[in-house]
């Protein structure tokens, strides 16, 4: 006869042998009330190990989707005016470098503000000896007024400044720098 050690520990000695416990008459030995027997039966029927809950990998600890610190997950991350300016300048500069071999060694740099100047505020500075073109972000953004205030026209304004600065470096007209780009106009 095999006995369950856990059950032996939980049951009083009179029920350890397997006999059913029934409320008995006083004086006939130790008894187990019926309520305690039901409680022990519930304890025996519980699973011994907790089962881990499996969730899809996209859910976090509490069953929710992962969230970004600033915006909700479905929205694209926020981009700043500085990042948009950098992207517009770098794409225009790459186009000009691929179209003109004279600009391949030229460094297109972005400055915040030009040094203090009397008179007009320069939007860029061309340094031919050093092969550098410095574009100043704040004057280009603040002093240029696109006729429609949206992202496309602001980007076109920035690209126009890059083209005019490169044209000044090459001593050409800005419209000559991208003839294929403006062929249909």
pLDDT attached to residue 30? 56
Share of the chain above pLDDT 90, in %: 39
pLDDT attached to residue 16? 47
Query: What residues pair up with 135 in beta bridges, in sequence order?
Result: 110, 124
CATH of the domain at 156: 3.30.2010.20
Residue 110 lies in a domain: yes
Q: How does 150-181 read in b/e, with b if 16+ C-beta sit within 10 Å?
A: eeeebbebbbebbbebbbebbeeebeebbeee
8-state DSSP, 114: P
Query: Which among 91, 92, 113, 83 has a CA at the least distance from the CA of 123?
Result: 113
| CA–CA gap between residue 166 and residue 133 (Å, rounded) | 8
pLDDT attached to residue 15? 46
The residue segments making up the domain with residue 102 are: 81-174
pLDDT attached to residue 78? 72
Residue 108 lies in a domain: yes
Residue 119 lies in a domain: yes
pLDDT attached to residue 80? 87
Which residues of the chain are modeled with pLDDT < 70? 1-77, 179-185
pTM of the model: 0.57
Residue 89 lies in a domain: yes
Residue 106 lies in a domain: yes
The number of domains in the chain is 1
CA 87 → CA 47, 57, 84, 93, 147, distances in Å? Answer: 59, 34, 5, 10, 21
């Amino acid at each position: 006869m095999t006995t369950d050690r856990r059950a032996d520990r939980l049951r009083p000695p009179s029920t350890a042998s397997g006999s059913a416990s029934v409320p008995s008459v006083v004086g006939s030995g130790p008894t187990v009330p019926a309520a305690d027997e039901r409680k022990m039966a519930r304890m025996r029927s519980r699973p011994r190990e907790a089962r881990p809950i499996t969730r899809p990998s996209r859910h976090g600890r509490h069953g929710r989707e992962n969230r970004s610190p600033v915006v909700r997950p479905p929205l694209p991350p926020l981009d700043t005016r500085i990042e948009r300016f950098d992207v517009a300048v770098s794409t225009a500069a790459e186009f000009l470098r691929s179209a003109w071999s004279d600009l391949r060694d030229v460094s297109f740099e972005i400055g915040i503000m030009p040094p203090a100047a009397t008179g007009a505020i320069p939007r860029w500075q061309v340094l031919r000896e050093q092969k550098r073109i410095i574009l100043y972000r704040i004057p280009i953004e603040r002093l240029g007024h696109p006729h429609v205030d949206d992202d496309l026209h602001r980007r076109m304004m920035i690209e126009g400044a890059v083209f005019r600065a490169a044209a000044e470096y090459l001593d050409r007209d800005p419209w000559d720098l991208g003839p294929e780009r403006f062929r249909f106009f």
